[in-house]
Structure 1
């Protein structure tokens, strides 16, 4: 079982990690953040990505799909933004969020690592 601090540090250990957060998508508030810069406000990014998660969950519901979101990927010119909603009983209603430098990040590895972090996370 990993706590919030350990989960954030694990996300920041990914090659090319710029910033990481664990976010409550009900309130849009990050429960914890790490990284970022004056050019990348992780709190603003977390709140904005809450809307992405909510919109996709609404769409899945409206379509009547019996599916969960594994992850959401947003690719920018120089970054990957990876969002992974949590599913465990202990951490439902949250998402893991990591921004990666596209030139240094490994997307496949990041997806697998977020999955493992989610399984270990305890809030």
Structure 2
């Protein structure tokens, strides 16, 4: 099993997880996806969240901030969507995406686990 497959399985083991992906934000394409929801199209989520990441990076640049994005949280009425750009030298240009059931997820724990997964993932 590849490092990517293990990372996706780890992401899906987070309480409340309904979908996970590793996405290349230069193309908007998912390198890998795993999910158990019929209502969450991970291909569409990968492409749409690519635009979110690009817009935030562009805004940071325009503001002249010397900052990196740790994560982006999108809160819906029934779900959390976490986006975590990867920072490793080989994984620059990629982000982790995790969708969670809001009622079943512990947001602080999910963020903590996602950070650990990002640090261990070598692509």
Note whether the superposition's TM-score is higher than 0.5: yes
Aligned to 1:90: 90
Give SS of 1:9's match: helix
> Which residue in 1 is equivalent to 2:6?
6
Which residue of structure 1 lines up, in the alignment, with residue 111 of structure 2?
111
Deviation for aligned residue 1:4: 0.5
Q: Does 1:121 align with 2:114?
A: no
Name the residue aligned to 1:63.
63
Task: Answer yes or no: is the 8 Å Cα contact 1:21–1:33 preserved in 2.
Answer: yes
Normalising by structure 1, what TM-score?
0.96
Q: What is the Cα deviation at residue 90 of structure 1?
A: 1.8
Shift of 1:13: 0.2
Give the corresponding residue for 2:49.
49
Contact 1:36 1:42 in 2 (8 A): no
Structure 1: give runs of 5+ residues left out of the alignment: none
Aligned-residue CA RMSD (Å): 1.0
The corresponding residue for 1:80 is 80
| Structure 1 counterpart SS, 2:74 | strand
CA deviation map 1:14-70 (0-9, x unaligned): 000000000000000000000043311011111100000000000000000000000
TM-score in terms of structure 2 length: 0.96
- Distance 1:44-1:36 versus aligned 2 partners, 3 A rule: farther
* Structure 2 gaps, min length 5: none
After superposition, the C-alpha distances for 1:67-111 in whole angstroms (9 at most, x for unaligned) are: 000000000000000000000112111000000000000100011
For the residues of structure 1 that align with 2:92 and 2:37, how far apart are their CA atoms?
A: 29
Tell me which residue corresponds to 1:34: 34
